[in-house]
Amino acid sequence: MKILVKVPATTANLGPGFDALGLALNLWNETEFIAAEDRRIIVAIEGEGQGRLPTNAENLIVQTALQIYNLVKKPCTGLHIHCRNRIPIGSGLGSSSAALLTGMLGANALLGAPFTEEEILRLAIETEGHPDNVAPAMLGGLVASIVHDGRVISLKLPAKANRSPIHATVVLPDFDFPTVQARAILPKQVDRKDAIYNISRAVLVTEALRTGNLDLLGKAMSDMLHQPYRIPLIPGAQAAMEAARQAGAAAVALSGAGPSLIAFTAKQDPAIGIAMKRAFEQAGLSARIFELEPSYEGAEVTIV
């Protein structure tokens, strides 16, 4: 049996929605799983992460696939995995959440779906530690999450972009900024005024995306809880944000924990990505540009 799992990239936080908001983007990893009887686990990687990601038992897709086999107490008699990766790794575009979900969804399908999609989502969020990439990767679109009585509730919000796409330009500098480091540098406590600053804006970011109001998005998409600590550590990031606005972007934020930045516009405008890339280059970093749209579809599993 062959299973095809498709999982989209995601941008988390969206400025003020730290650890709560995330949006799926139309950049997909596609992974084939073949159940084998040869007792071997084989991983082949094409595209992003090729030659860099482990292809042995340390591979995140393998680990999370085996987690599912262990949970249902079934032996894995062999697994051949072929990854076609388009989501850059360590970028702030949810590559690790995509890998987590891919492994879980692939193994779940091979085992005849012992877990519901909701259960897989909960397992993936528990494994990742925060919901804001995993939930939109699974559900698609704009997703808000809360933790209630120790359980995550993730809700896909209606968004106008479903009908009239908002364009996203992501610029990824060649800079190593692991999420674990980007989280470790954040203060444990925040000022009340900073909390209010973010709470009020996070609500309006969702409203701006719901109605497609880019002027409102530009006013609401700023943050006091994580960006002021992270952006100074990424060479050229502050200048790239300013360059994006000057080139006409309505709103710009750190994508997830970075190092990539995401700028929103009504229509695709190559000048925005070029201006941001130039700012990173002036700080000594090469950078890649991704022209993307929100994806209102989430992860897909197909039995081929």
* Interaction site with ligand HSE (CB under 6 A): 12-13, 18-19, 130, 132-133, 179, 182-183, 226, 256-257
Residue placing its CB nearer to ligand HSE in the complex, 180 or 304: 180
The nearest distance, CB 12 to ligand HSE, in angstroms, is: 4
Residue placing its CB nearer to ligand HSE in the complex, 33 or 290: 290
Residue placing its CB nearer to ligand HSE in the complex, 247 or 292: 292
The nearest distance, CB 157 to ligand HSE, in angstroms, is: 17
Residue placing its CB nearer to ligand HSE in the complex, 12 or 124: 12
> Residues 137-176, buried b or exposed e (16+ Cβ, 10 A)?
bbbbbbbbbeeeeeebebebeebebeeebbbbbbbbbebe
The two structure tokens encoding residue 69:
């086999």
The nearest distance, CB 256 to ligand HSE, in angstroms, is: 4
Residue placing its CB nearer to ligand HSE in the complex, 50 or 181: 181
Distance (Å, whole) CA 151 – CA 136:
17
The nearest distance, CB 44 to ligand HSE, in angstroms, is: 26
N- to C-terminal Cα distance for the chain?
A: 7
Distance (Å, whole) CA 3 – CA 28:
16
* Cβ atoms 3, 104 nearer than 8 A: no
The nearest distance, CB 130 to ligand HSE, in angstroms, is: 5
Q: Are strands 251-254 and 287-292 parallel, antiparallel or unpaired?
A: unpaired
CA-nearest of 246, 161, 142, 244 to 202 is 142
